[in-house]
Each structure stands twice: as C-alpha cells, then as structure tokens.
C-alpha cells in the first residue's frame, strides 16, 4: 500500500480523497493556489503546499511543479481526482517517470481513450456498438457519407469533452460551416482542431458503466448510472441504477463496457459512457479514464469505497471484488450544488459562504469543499458540492432528495438549490421519464413560482431565528458610520 499521497486537485474531490486516505491510515498532501489558502482541503490534509501561478487554475495544471512538490513532500503516490490533469497522459507519464505511483490508468490507455476518433475505432474493433459517423475530408466524400448516415448529425471534437466543439447539424448546407466552427472551438479549448460527426440520436438517454480493471485484462463492472438530466452537455443529476431500464439491456450494456475495458487492459477506475436511443439501441460515446463526479451513487448502492479500491489497485493489489460479489441494494440519486443563478440563464455567481447547514440524516451524504466564511470567486468551476441520498426504492430516494434539498441551507452566495428541488419534484422526473433534453423540455415548468407574501414572511421569520443569520443581517455597518468625515 502507498504511504503518502499527493492530491493534484482541490475542493470537493480533494476533501473526498483525504477522507479515504485518513480511513486507511495514509498521509495526505494537499496543494493549493493562494486564492485557495483557506479552503477545507488545505485545512484537512496532513500537509499542504502552495503552488505558484499568476492565474489560479494554472497552478493545478502545472505538471512540472506538481511532480516537484510530490517528490519534495516525500509522497510516493499522486491522485489526480477529476478535472484538471486527471486525463492528461503527459501528467501520468511524468508521475511515473519520477518514480511515483499514478492512481489511475497507464498513460498509453489515457492517450488511447482521450482521442475520441481512435477510441471509437477501438470500440468498433472489439464489438462495442458505435454510432455511424464520418471524419472531415473532401467535401464530395463528406456529402456521400452524409447521405448514407442521414441527418441530424452531431459534430464533436476528437480530443474534447464537456460540450466544447459540439454542434448539431440538421441540413447538408449547414455542415461545412459547422465543421469549421467546431474545429476552431476544439483548437481553442484542447489545442487539437480535429473533429468528426456522428448520427445524432433524438431524445437519448446517457447511460454510463463504472468499471475497475487490474491492468492484465481482468475487469469488473459496478453496474450503471443514469446521467441523462443535463444542461448544456453538463450533468446535473445522476443516479444508480438507471430507472426503467430492462434487465436484458442492462446486462448487455454492462457487458459491452467490460469488453472494452478488458481489451484495453485497463487498470484502475474508469467509466464507459453510452448513448441509449428510444428504440433500445445503444452506442459507445466515450471512456473517462478517471474517477467520476458521480461516483458516490455507485458507492451507496453497492456499499463500496471506490477511492480505496483505486489506491489498492495502484499499489499493485488485485481487484478487491469478483463480479459475483457485487449486487445493487436500493437506489441513490445525486445532484450538483453550484454557485449560479438559474433565474439569469445559470450565470456563475460569487459571494462568501455565510451559513452552511447540511441535513444530518443517515441516508443523506454531502460531498463538499466549502466552509462558512469562505469566499467563492470566479476563478474555478462553479460546483460547490454534491448532495446524495440513498433509499430502498427510487420513489423513496426522489422524495428524500427533495426533502434534503429543502433542508440544505447555504447562504451568502446564489445557488441552484431551489431549482434542483423543483426538478426533483417534477412528475416526469419522479416517473423516471428522462432524456438529455429533459431540462430544456420542461424549462417553463421549472421556473420559480411567485412566492406568496405570507410564505415569504414565514421564511424571513425562520431565518431571523438563526443566530448566524441575525449576525449577518444586523452586523453590517451603516456606510456613513465607517468613513469618518469623508463624503462624496
């Protein structure tokens, strides 16, 4: 087993990894930019080292500095978390070249799966369904391929993700311009302008399968997650198991994920993502070669610790479970708490966390990276944490999630908490009638309703009963009392 692990990340996922390291008796080394100096992951780690960079995000992307800090701190392992350098083959190779253990797959596999065009061909070669597609080339050849595939098409970046470099094309006359725009966007975000186009599935579901591999071809799946409730290609709700998924189809999708990971001789944790058409056909989308944001729902329904499994596999141990050891118990749903303003097109928000009250029920889990008094700026991703619930059935889990969202108090910065509660209460969500256009389709119904005056008064009265809120409300000095004799 490893002894001391540097976490090349920040915020919620860094705190999550620290918890498991502490539970295993291992030491943690956190890194931070000056702007993060008071963040929980810095305070919780056994050791914390400041990274130097003019731009905050650049600190967490500095491969050479991170590797140097790991060696100086005496770490023997590096966990990348998710985002930042977690799927960067160069970082994984630099860690290995420094004689340290990278808690993730080999650089060669990251490189293979990170190239969407190569990954699709690899999947096709190993019997995993792939949607009909074309790569840019001679306009006449493209036109012929398009006629064979048909519209609509989805143009995607070969090296991308997160919705960048993606455009829907519904007519031939739009194709050339869409390819050019997508290529320019891909070049800007990923330094790689290659794009391709595949058949666009209308009203699809997004189903992904969690896998663990030993690097020798041994792979187990930890069942599937439903990630269809998205906004601008970004997941908002995730759950396990997927609702309304026929058991034979569930087995087929999971088997395809295992087949792909096994062929790649995948090591550590990864996720194989599929798009599921309304007619039951499913197609390989991509493989994420890291831990996913939504991994807690898998942990809750299986009673496992995926970070602990990652660490053990990275240390050279065999897979912690055989497939027959894994069975789903109940249902778990997660939603992402973000600093944003849903009433203003979800624009990112800033502020200072004044009050944070998390529901204490045993069936509620809050994975956060914030604390009271912490400033929330615009330098990093807007996600503040994740609220996850577990129950015996999906209906019960959806009810518990709604209750937990109403009980969660986060004051001082605008968030999407109320919006998430409206989604969780929506009849179609409760029925499990999900697809990737769910939020757009029900946008009007998900807008806030006018709050009755009496209800608003009750909310204010309840808040004034909180000592912390009263201190915030009445502790602000009157401006002219603080500026002496100076006036405009």
| Cα four-point dihedral sign 311, 269, 249, 441 | positive
- In 42-163 the beta strands, taken as DSSP E runs, fall at 47-50, 77-79, 101-102, 133-134, 153-157
**Cα angle vertex 342, ends 340, 345, to 5°?**
95
- Angle between helix 107-114 and 116-125 (nearest 10): 100
- In 247-401 the beta strands, taken as DSSP E runs, fall at 267-276, 282-288, 331-338, 340-341, 347-348, 351-352, 355-357, 364-368, 375-376, 383-391
Cα separation values, 199 from 149, 213, 418, Å: 7, 30, 36
Strand, coil or helix: 24: coil
Alpha carbons 171 and 473: distance in angstroms, whole number: 56
Alpha carbons 398 and 403: distance in angstroms, whole number: 9
Cα separation values, 40 from 238, 374, 411, 439, Å: 25, 9, 18, 32
Largest CA distance in the chain: 79
Alpha carbons 104 and 81: distance in angstroms, whole number: 9
- Counting every residue written for the chain, the total comes to 488
Residues 187-210 as b/e (b if ≥16 CB within 10 A, e otherwise) read: beebebbbbbbbbbbeebbbbbbb
Alpha carbons 390 and 239: distance in angstroms, whole number: 10
**Cα angle vertex 417, ends 416, 423, to 5°?**
90
Catalytic residues: 290
In sequence order, what are the residues at sequence separation of 6 or more whose Cβ sits closer than 8 angstroms to the Cβ of residue 173? none
Alpha carbons 457 and 4: distance in angstroms, whole number: 52
Q: Please check whether residue 176 is in contact with residue 138, taking contact to mean a CB–CB distance below 8 angstroms.
A: no
Alpha carbons 410 and 384: distance in angstroms, whole number: 10
The residues facing 443 across adjacent strands are: none
Q: Which helix (H) or strand (E) holds 173?
A: helix 172-190
């Amino acid at each position: 087993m490893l002894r001391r692990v540097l976490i090349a990340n920040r915020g919620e996922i860094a705190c999550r990894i620290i918890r498991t390291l502490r539970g295993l008796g291992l030491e943690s080394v956190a890194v931070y930019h000056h702007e993060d100096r008071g963040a929980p992951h810095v305070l919780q780690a056994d050791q914390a080292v400041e990274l130097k960079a003019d731009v905050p995000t650049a600190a967490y992307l500095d491969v050479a500095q991170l590797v140097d800090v790991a060696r100086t701190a005496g770490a023997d392992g590096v966990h990348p978390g998710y985002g930042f350098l977690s799927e960067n083959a160069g970082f994984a190779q630099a860690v290995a070249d420094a004689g340290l253990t990278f808690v993730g797959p080999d650089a060669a596999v990251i490189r293979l799966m990170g190239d969407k065009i190569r990954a699709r061909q690899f999947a096709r070669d190993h019997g995993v369904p792939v949607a009909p597609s074309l790569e840019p080339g001679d306009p006449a050849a493209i036109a012929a391929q398009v006629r064979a595939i048909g519209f609509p098409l989805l143009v995607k970046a070969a090296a991308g993700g997160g919705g960048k470099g993606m455009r829907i094309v519904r007519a031939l006359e739009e194709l050339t311009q869409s390819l050019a725009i997508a290529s320019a966007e891909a070049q800007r975000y990923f330094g790689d302008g290659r794009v391709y186009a595949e058949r666009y599935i209308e009203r699809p579901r997004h189903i992904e399968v969690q896998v663990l591999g030993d690097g020798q071809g041994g792979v187990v799946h930890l069942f599937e997650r439903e990630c269809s409730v998205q906004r601008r290609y970004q997941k908002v709700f995730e759950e396990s198991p997927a609702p309304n998924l026929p058991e034979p189809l569930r087995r087929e999708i999971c088997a395809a994920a295992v087949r792909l990971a096994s062929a790649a001789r995948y090591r550590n944790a990864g996720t194989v993502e599929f798009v599921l058409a309304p007619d039951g056909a499913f197609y390989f989308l991509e493989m994420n070669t890291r831990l996913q944001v939504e991994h807690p729902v898998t942990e809750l329904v299986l009673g496992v610790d995926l970070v602990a499994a990652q660490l053990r596999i990275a240390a050279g141990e065999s897979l912690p479970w055989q497939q027959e050891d894994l069975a789903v118990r109940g249902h778990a749903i997660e939603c992402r708490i973000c600093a944003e303003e849903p009433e203003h097109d979800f624009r990112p928000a800033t502020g200072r966390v004044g009050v944070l009250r998390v529901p204490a029920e045993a069936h509620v889990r809050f994975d956060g990276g914030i604390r009271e008094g912490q400033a929330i700026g615009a330098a990093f991703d807007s996600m503040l944490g994740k609220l996850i619930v577990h129950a015996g059935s999906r209906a019960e889990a959806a009810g518990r999630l709604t209750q937990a969202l109403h009980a969660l108090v986060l004051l001082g910065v605008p968030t999407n908490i109320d919006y998430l509660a409206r989604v969780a209460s929506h009849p179609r969500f409760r029925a499990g009638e999900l697809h990737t256009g769910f939020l757009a389709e029900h946008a009007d119904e998900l807008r806030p309703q006018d709050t009755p005056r009496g209800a608003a008064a009750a909310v204010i009265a309840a808040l004034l009963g909180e000592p912390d809120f009263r201190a915030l409300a009445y502790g602000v000095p009157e401006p002219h009392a603080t500026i002496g004799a100076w006036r405009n």
